[in-house]
Structure 1
């Protein structure tokens, strides 16, 4: 009996090895198996959604030490709501994939795997050609760990070398990844971990397309700051000369950059971004209006504090909304604005249309942490709430307790920019005057705002005042403080192109852009780029 079993196992491994040796066949088989696994988990999600309270209790028991679980009520009595959640690694860790690991992947139960399986199934259903081999280009800077794309269980999906994302310099990494994306004309998906990475990569295309075209024509990767020579040689070996593609790049860039993405990749179906809300929403709007005009954006996942919490099952809708999966984390919610005696409500106790602060238990030993995010419930799928992120609590402006949320400040800023003929807002950050110290002068506490614009080279005093005027109109409490003189006039500065790309590199890790700067080194960097 044992020799027969051993022979069968050897035969299976031989078949797997032979199939894996034929990349196209292996891709098709893997894609089919992973999509089946995704469909199976979607059915399981439907079942879990019929009783979210039971699903949450089971998840909580898995997060607590053995023998200590007595239900959510006892858990909430024993553990008070704690401090802010610790930041987790973006995307989490993923197991290395080998040909014989496919079955293990299909039956895995961890949230990152389940989320990716749902992503692959959802993406294929909406865009049938999106899972073509080598049909996805990735833009992701992850200098200290492996870059984890959305469809990582299917690595043959990507034309971008994994090593390109680990280059120490963010600017160099994005340029190298852009070069490999340009080499592949038949792209169906353009994926970026953050919209800002796509924005900065396309800015590099605007400024450096002649050099990129030359690299394509010769099949070379030129030396550049921040790109180690050994890694450059390794990556250059993967390039091949393509004079036809280089000529196409020159012709399309010479026509201008509106809609350039669709023109360079005519088969492109969708732009996938890791985050499309909060600070990153502005970048999505800028890209939709210019380089990515005419293309849908799909944000597949909702993460908070490094934990995967929800999935977007509606890729063709313009505004992302996420189904909170009841077996990925134990979630509690504080009504927003806060009540006098706040008590958390559970996943099955939310009301449609209301806003809630998120309290998270996603890892063993980290109980009831403030995630620092506010969500709005937009509906339900079975009993599972469907939510949209509204704001980050740490990114509110407040010099006198007035608390202006980031998304409402952005609305006021966009309204002011709309009054400046020809101007288009690209990026901005705010600083509370306390961070400036003596350099802010002897005036009352105030805000300083740094903006990058297209279509405008200078700001008049009247234009600068428009933003302060818009804030007074939109926030009566701010107007009251301004009238009393306890808040001074807002100061608006214009910075040169590329200033925010350098600021993002200075952050040192791929995180959503902080809209309120709280570090002096970052403030000094943006101040050094002021042109008006």
Structure 2
């Protein structure tokens, strides 16, 4: 009997040693992760404090800071495209490179001329400053978000203006941060039920993620259940299926019960996506943006002055610098008879009209003047409007007419032109799923596409408008 016990002990000894070794390895790795996180966070806090001090100094003397920044740009100018190479005289700079007006840009776009391309990535101290101070602000508002394994990015682009490759895993990033496949990023996030924050490049991109999640939910659940990739997680797959069965409202919190905040980059054309996400998939969650990004700016290879095109309202001051709120973009106007209907006026009218369509939630929209699509033959020129909706599959004529009534209420000039018959009623078209994603893909493929990608509400090129026209379902 003793020999039998000794024999059994000898048989069990190797598995017990391996089990103890793996346990000690897990504990050691866990300790290393905590140490790495602590060190990374200390370094970032120190760097953020330094950047906060520089921010205070620059905003206390805003005029001097702007002059100094301009001199740096002029001294660093290179290439044959810059007529001011080596000059540091500001008046000469202004004379040679006058500020472009939005009306000039609109004329150039109408003639098919493209704008000078902007930098395809943020760079410089300003973007680093925004990232560091944004991380500190996020951690202050939501202390558990940046814990290890607390954050996942679900789009290839990042909301943080400056890439910080080393500490990203240590500061809570889940999944392959360098992955370019949105499906792989979403799948990795779905495998982690304890997430406290979701990251996406912009709100529009996050909207695409949730719409795709609903459309491909069963495939994602099957991949999680079978372990493709990673270990099989049938229980988590069942949770995903159950969450999807309950509809879009509050889906994010059903999938990730500890979720607190959504991090996206604030840029033009994002308001409708933020509203739709907040009303449906991300209901109950806060939205955080580390920076506001505007199209236009300095090109890497020259010094140029180009319009930003954003109309902002000053809502306060920080030392000598204004605090602004985005209102609209100058170039985004509709004008078939000189009425100049601005982006803000049109969006407000469309929002009121959609509010009168039972069960409908506006996800995205785009407009085009009828002359661009040659759709005004035999009728007065008018607006062609393409909308993506949730909760409504067909548009009745009564629903379509409500937009024109709302536009007349919003603009006296438009109402006068409609009364005289100089402008025809706006034509509203419902597009299918993926129409605006295809439009953004075409925009991103253009060499002159800005970074971050801007979502235009008024399309001036027939090829872009036809992308939506081909996907009309009602």
Under a length normalisation based on structure 2, what TM-score does the superposition of the two structures give? 0.81
Q: Deviations over 1:87-135 (max 9, x none)?
A: 3245425xxxxxxxxxxxxxxx622222211111111111111212232
CA shift for structure 1 position 78: 5.0
* Larger-Rg structure: 2
- The whole-number CA distance in structure 2 between the counterparts of 1:79 and 1:512 is 25
What residue in structure 1 maps to residue 37 of structure 2? 27
Q: 2:413 aligns with which of 466, 472, 477?
A: 477
Change (3 A) 1:219 1:136: same
CA shift for structure 1 position 195: 0.9
What residue in structure 2 maps to residue 164 of structure 1? 179
Q: Deviations over 1:407-442 (max 9, x none)?
A: 2211100101112222222221111011112x4322
Q: 2:343 aligns with which of 380, 399, 406?
A: 406
CA shift for structure 1 position 65: 2.1
What residue in structure 1 maps to residue 87 of structure 2? 68
- The whole-number CA distance in structure 1 between the counterparts of 2:299 and 2:68 is 13
What residue in structure 2 maps to residue 155 of structure 1? 168
Change (3 A) 1:502 1:418: same
Change (3 A) 1:21 1:219: same
Q: 1:92 aligns with which of 122, 136, 142?
A: 122
- The whole-number CA distance in structure 2 between the counterparts of 1:130 and 1:21 is 19
- The whole-number CA distance in structure 1 between the counterparts of 2:298 and 2:387 is 37
Q: Is residue 2:221 matched to residue 1:213?
A: yes
Residues 23-172 of structure 1 aligned to structure 2 (within 5 Å)? 23-65=33-75, 68-70=87-89, 72-73=90-91, 75-77=93-95, 79-82=97-100, 86-92=116-122, 110-141=125-156, 149-150=160-161, 152-153=163-164, 154-156=167-169, 157-165=172-180
What residue in structure 2 maps to residue 506 of structure 1? 442
What residue in structure 2 maps to residue 525 of structure 1? 467
Of 490-499 and 117-126, deviating more is: 490-499
3-state DSSP class of the match of 1:199? helix
Equivalent residues of 1:91, 1:148 under 8 A apart = no
Equivalent residues of 1:137, 1:187 under 8 A apart = yes
What residue in structure 1 maps to residue 12 of structure 2? none
Equivalent residues of 2:159, 2:265 under 8 A apart = no
Change (3 A) 1:180 1:89: farther
Equivalent residues of 1:138, 1:149 under 8 A apart = no
What residue in structure 2 maps to residue 295 of structure 1? 285
- The whole-number CA distance in structure 2 between the counterparts of 1:504 and 1:369 is 23
3-state DSSP class of the match of 1:420? coil
- The whole-number CA distance in structure 1 between the counterparts of 2:276 and 2:133 is 28
- The whole-number CA distance in structure 2 between the counterparts of 1:189 and 1:361 is 32
- The whole-number CA distance in structure 2 between the counterparts of 1:271 and 1:148 is 10
What residue in structure 1 maps to residue 271 of structure 2? 281
Residues 215-234 of structure 1 aligned to structure 2 (within 5 Å)? 215-220=223-228
- The whole-number CA distance in structure 2 between the counterparts of 1:478 and 1:410 is 15
Structure 2 unaligned runs (5+)?
1-27, 77-85, 106-114, 446-451
Equivalent residues of 2:191, 2:236 under 8 A apart = yes
Under a length normalisation based on structure 1, what TM-score does the superposition of the two structures give? 0.73
- The whole-number CA distance in structure 2 between the counterparts of 1:420 and 1:21 is 56
Aligned-residue CA RMSD (Å):
2.5
What residue in structure 2 maps to residue 192 of structure 1? 200
Aligned residues: 416
- The whole-number CA distance in structure 1 between the counterparts of 2:281 and 2:241 is 16
Equivalent residues of 1:174, 1:197 under 8 A apart = no
Change (3 A) 1:213 1:192: same
Q: Deviations over 1:270-316 (max 9, x none)?
A: 101112x541110000000011000011121122236xxxxxxxxxx
Change (3 A) 1:184 1:90: farther
Residues 485-504 of structure 1 aligned to structure 2 (within 5 Å)? 485-504=421-440
